[in-house]
Amino acid sequence: MMTPAETTKPRPTDEIVDVLIIGSGASGAAAAWSLADTRMRILCLEQGDWIAPTDFPTNGRDWEARRYTDFAITPNRRGRETDYPVNDDASVMKVANFNGVGGGTVLYTAHFPRMHPSDFRVRTLDGVADDWPVDYWTLERFFAENDRMMGVAGLAGDPAYPAHQPTMPPVPLGKSGARMAAATNRLGWHWWPSDIAVATREYDGRAPCINLGNCTPGCAQGAKASVDITYWPQALRAGVELRSRCRVREITTNAQGMASGVVYYDPTGRERFQPAEVVILAANGVGTPRLLLNSVSSRFPTGLANSSGLVGKNLMMHPWPQVRGYVEEEVDGDRAPQTVMWGKEFYETDKARGFVRGYTLQYSRGTGPVNEAVMSMEAGRLPWGVDHHRVYRTLLYRRLQVGIACEDLPEERNRVTLDPLLKDSHGIPAPKISYTISENTAAMMEHGIARATEILEAAGAKNIYTSRTTLNYPGHLLGTARMGTDPARSVVNEWGRSHDVKNLFIIDGSIWVTSGGVNPTSTIQALALYIADSMKQRLANLFD
Amino acid sequence: MQLELTEGEVRDFRRLAGIILPASSEYDTPGAADPAIFDDILRSLGQDLDAVRRALASLAARAGGAFAGLDDAAAEVMGLGFMETGGADAMTLGRSVLQCYYRDDRVMRALGLTPRPPYPLGHTLEDGDFGLLDAVRGRPRMWRDVDRAEAQRR
C-alpha cells in the first residue's frame, strides 16, 4: 500500500525555495531573520493567522473571560479553526501553545530567564540525564543578540547569572514585588528583578508598557515582545516570505533520502506541494514530533529522522506548582506585568535536599476580578450565597503568588505519539501526549512549595494554598527530538541538523537535552540563532 | 444539538444564579439574576453550553422536577449544596456566572473600580524600593562556573 508520502495524486506545486521554515514562532522567526542576510529565498509556512493588536482581549470588557475561550492557553479549550487538538488525557499537565504568527510568544508571560551554564552539563555535574553538545558560552553572544532583538527589561549584576546587560530598565517592583522582596531578605535568600521581554521605555518602534496587565493573552499596547512585532517585521523587510493559514501535513523525501519539500493545505483548504532545498522545523516540542511521525515512507517507516527511535520521546513540560496567599492591604493585582522577580536560591544542585537539579522561584503579582473569583471558587475559598460579597472583598487585589519552575529530567516514557483516532480539521492525525512526574521532580516540587510558603508567610500572607498542577500553567514543550553527537541517542546533531536527513534541521524546543528550571523562550531563540549561524558558516558544505 | 437553553432550563438557571450570587444592599451590588447580568450570562455561554445544560439537568433531578418551583428555603439549601457537590459541570456553571457578573458596570463601581477595559489607559504602578536589593548585591557568585575556561581557549 502506498504511504501518504508516496502518493502521486495531482496537486499544485509551488516554485522551489532555498529554505522552508515550518512555524513562525519564537525559533522560526529568529532563524528567518538570521538567514535573511544570505539572500537565499526563504519561505515560512504558518498554520495560524496574524493577530492584530485590536484583537487582544485587553481591548474589551470581556478581557478576562476570553482567557477561557479564544485566548485560552491550551488549544483544546481555545479551539480556533487554526488550532489542532491534542489528546492530553494521559498527561498530568496540559499543552500550552498558540497557533498563529508569533506562535507561543503571542501567549506567554514574557518572563525571559536564560538557562544557566550548569544546565548544559547535568551528566558531568550531577550524574543524571545527558550533557548538551553545546554550552552556555557558545550561546552567549546569541543570547545577547536575541535580547537586543526582543528588547529585554532587567537589571545587570545578578549573582545567580554570568554577567549580562539587559537592554532596558527593569519592570517596577510595585507593592507586590517590594513586599515579597522584603520577605525574601528576611529569610536571607536570593531574589532579583526578572529579565522580562517587555518594553519599559520606547524600544525599536514599540510603545512602552502602560500596565495593562493580563500580559499572557497578548499585549494590545505592543510592549510585550512577541516575534510578530520584533523579528518578523525585519525578516519580511529583508525579503523573507511568510504565508499564514498554511498547515503542513508532511515532509516529503526523494530517492536520495533528502527532504524534498512539504505537502500543505493552503488557506482555501487546497492541498499543495512546496519544494525546498532545505527544510527547517520550528513547530514546537509537540508539533515537530507530530509532523515527523506523520511523515512516513518506505524509507522512513517509523517517521522521518527517527532511526534512533527517539522522535517524540523525552517530553519535558516543567511542572510548575503555584503557592498563593492573601495580604490585608491592596497590592498590585493584575494591573502590571504579572511576573516581577525570580529567586535562584535553590537552583543549583544540593543533594542534601533529597533531589538533584533545582528550580526557580518565580514571584508574581495577583490577578483580575473575574479570575480571582473563578480561582477562589474552584479552590473552595470563595463561598456562594450571602457571604460571597464579604469574602470576595478580602481577596480581590490582595493576592501574592510564588511559582516553582521545576526542572523535569528526560524520561522516554514521557512522550508524544500520534493519536489513532483524533484528527485536526484537515484530517491530519493529532498528537497524543503521555506524561507523568518523576520521583525526583515530585521531591523538588514539594521542596519548592515549602520554600514558597515560607516566603508568603514572611510577607504576612494568610489563607495560603498550593496548586500543584493546573490547566492554565505550562505546559512548556521540550525534548522530543533531542540534540547530540551520537545518532543512536539523538535526533539532530550539535548544530541542529538531522542525523538521518542531511537537509532537515530542527530549531525549536524539541532539541533540548534537558529542561533547566526556567521559562524556555530566551534559550530556544538563542539556540535558533546559533543554528542559523552554524548553517551560514557551512553553506558551501551544508549537507556533507 | 440544541444551541440554547430551553425556557425551563433558563428559569432554573436564573433561580440558581440569584441564590448563589444574591443582590446585596450592604454592598450596593446587584445579584446575578439581575436582568442585564443574567442576559449577559446566557449570551456568553458559548462552548460551556453543554456543561451548563448537564449541570441544570442534574439540579433538576435533585429537585425532582423544576428547581425554579421549589420554595425559597428549599431552593437555597439545594442550590448552595449543588454548587458544592455538583462536580466539574457545576464549576463550569459557576464560572459562566462569575465571568459576566464581575464585568457589570454596577458591580465594578460597587468594588470601587472604574468599568473599563485595561487598554488604552492602562494603570499606574509604583516603582517599589529597589534599595531592597542591597541585601543581595553583595552575595558571592551563585552559578556554577562550567565550560568557561574551555570557551575562552576556543
Q: What is the tens place of the pLDDT at every residue in A325-373?
A: 999 999 999 999 999 999 999 999 999 999 999 999 999 999 999 999 9
- Break chain B into its structural domains and give their ranges: 7-110
Report the CATH number of the A4-166+194-317+410-437+476-541 domain. Answer: 3.50.50.60
- Band (pLDDT 50/70/90 cuts) for residue A471 is very low
Q: Number of A:B CB contacts under 8 A? A: 189
Residues A54 and A106 sit within 8 Å (Cβ to Cβ): no
| The pLDDT of residue A6 | 47
Q: State the Cα–Cα distance between residues B11 and A341, nearest whole angstrom.
A: 48
Q: State the Cα–Cα distance between residues B78 and A68, nearest whole angstrom.
A: 28
Q: State the Cα–Cα distance between residues A498 and A291, nearest whole angstrom.
A: 14
| The pLDDT of residue A214 | 85
CA distance B108 to chain A (A): 9
Residue predicted with more confidence, A107 or A214: A107
Whether residues B139 and A68 touch (CB distance < 8 A) is answered with no
Annotate A363-402 with b (16+ C-beta within 10 A) or e (fewer): bbbbbbbbbbbbbbbeeebbbbeeebbeebeebbbbbbbb
pLDDT (mean) for A489-509: 98
Is residue A472 over pLDDT 60?
A: no
The count of residues in chain A is 544
Whether residues A369 and B103 touch (CB distance < 8 A) is answered with yes
Q: Which of residues 12-51 of B touch A (CB under 8 A)?
A: 19-22, 24, 26-27, 29, 44, 46-47
**Could you report the per-residue pLDDT of A64-73, keeping only the tens digit for each?**
999 999 999 9
- A375: CB partners within 8 A, 6+ apart: A367
Q: DSSP per residue over A88-126, as a string?
A: EEEESS------BTTGGGTTS--B-PPPPGGGG-HHHHH
Q: Which has the minimum average pLDDT: A6-10, A21-25, A205-209, A459-463? A: A6-10
Is residue A3 over pLDDT 80?
A: no
| The pLDDT of residue A475 | 79
pLDDT (mean) for A295-300: 96
- A354: Cα separation from own chain's centroid: 28
Identify from B119, B127, B153 which residue to disrupt to test chain A contact, counting A C-beta atoms within 10 A and taking the largest count.
B119
pLDDT (mean) for A118-146: 97
Quote the DSSP letter at residue A202: -
User: Which residues in chain B have Cβ-Cβ distances shorter than 8 Å to A172?
Assistant: 125-128
pLDDT (mean) for A455-475: 83
Cα torsion angle, B50, B53, B57, B58, sign: positive
CA distance B65 to chain A (A): 23
Is residue A469 over pLDDT 90?
A: no
**Could you report the per-residue pLDDT of A217-273, keeping only the tens digit for each?**
999 999 999 999 999 999 999 999 999 999 999 999 999 999 999 999 999 999 999
Per the listing, cell 505537502 goes with A263
Mean residue pLDDT across chain A: 95
State whether ipTM is beyond 0.90: yes
A83, burial (CB in 10 Å: exposed 0-12, middle 13-18, buried 19+)? buried
Residue of chain B with shortest Cα separation from A118: B144
Quote the DSSP letter at residue A492: B
- Band (pLDDT 50/70/90 cuts) for residue A520 is very high
| The pLDDT of residue A1 | 40
B82, burial (CB in 10 Å: exposed 0-12, middle 13-18, buried 19+)? buried
CA distance B84 to chain A (A): 8
**Could you report the per-residue pLDDT of B126-150, keeping only the tens digit for each?**
999 999 999 999 899 999 998 888 7
**Could you report the per-residue pLDDT of A11-47, keeping only the tens digit for each?**
888 999 999 999 999 999 999 999 999 999 999 999 9
Q: Which of residues 72-91 of B touch A (CB under 8 A)?
A: 76, 79-80, 83, 91
| The pLDDT of residue B152 | 79
User: Which residues in chain B have Cβ-Cβ distances shorter than 8 Å to A211?
Assistant: 122-125
Q: Any chain A CB within 8 A of the CB of B146? A: yes
Per the listing, cell 528583578 goes with A193
- Break chain A into its structural domains and give their ranges: 4-166+194-317+410-437+476-541
Per the listing, cell 519548592 goes with A448
Spans of chain B, pLDDT less than 70: 1-2
**Could you report the per-residue pLDDT of A387-414, keeping only the tens digit for each?**
999 999 999 999 999 999 999 999 999 9
User: Which residues in chain A have Cβ-Cβ distances shorter than 8 Å to B76?
Assistant: 385
